[in-house]
Amino acid sequence: MAFETIILQIEGSVAILTLNRPERMNALSAQMKSELSVALDGIERNLSIRALIVTGAGDRAFCAGTDVKERSATDPAPAQFISDQRATYALFSRIEGLACPVIAALNGGAFGGGLEVALCCDFRIAVESAKLGLTEVNLGVIPAGGGTQRLSRLLGTARAKQLIMTGRVLDAPGALQFGIVDEVVPTAVFPDRVRSFAAELAAKAPLALRFAKKVIDRGAQVDLASALDQELYAASILFASEDRKEGMQAFVEKRKPVFKGR
């Protein structure tokens, strides 16, 4: 399928998904959401993809959030709004639930729904000029793409309230201090740093990465005993895998392992 609002590139075992509406600061339109869903179908089916980078076109914005101009032209009934938002929840949850690790490469501003997309990713690397914020209160609404919940789980409720209820915008160092981003990178080396980190992840045993991600995410939602049961189950499956045997044999033989995802 030829996309108009996104770009999907595959570079070896790393996929790069670019939000491509730079004239609108890569805002999330209905068309972009539809195209993202199709792109995710392909990513989910392609087992050779071992890491995904999500970024924005241009150098102004990762994603400015919902296309306010498009949204303001509509006035859906409550039932329709709920239906539309559930579709957005489902889309964002698909990003969050991808088996491979996902890196948000924050090449510029990430506001509202754009930051909510980034919160669905496993890692967030920001260029030094990036700015971030859940600014919906300034428009008379709340973050309704999962932002109230994902930010609370990431930072704790008190710090999430501070950001959401003030609509405060953070610069990249401030976002790092808050714990929203994992790393801040100078502009000149930003693309290379993101790709090198993706390559580092892609070189690891893919089954181990997938199970680690799943156990961490699901374990955070249950009690410790249940989480440990999930960890043990995942470990038992991995111990029987070809990748485990290859990894340990390579260690003994002092060579680089060749993982096959089996």
Active-site positions read 116, 136
Instruction: Return the closest-CA partner of residue 100 out of 233, 234, 211.
Output: 211
Q: How many CB atoms lie within 10 A of CB 138?
A: 12
Task: Please give the full DSSP string across 209-233, using - where no structure is assigned.
Answer: HHHHHHHHHHHTTS-HHHHHHHHHH
Question: Kind and range of the H or E element at 51?
Answer: strand 51-56
Q: Which residues pair with 170 in a beta bridge?
A: 132
For tokens 């150098």, the residue is 59
Q: Are 66 and 115 in contact (CB under 8 A)?
A: no
Q: Are 52 and 14 in contact (CB under 8 A)?
A: yes
How far apart CA 224 and CA 158 sit, in angstroms, is 23
Q: Which residues contact 216 (CB under 8 A, 6 or more apart)?
A: none
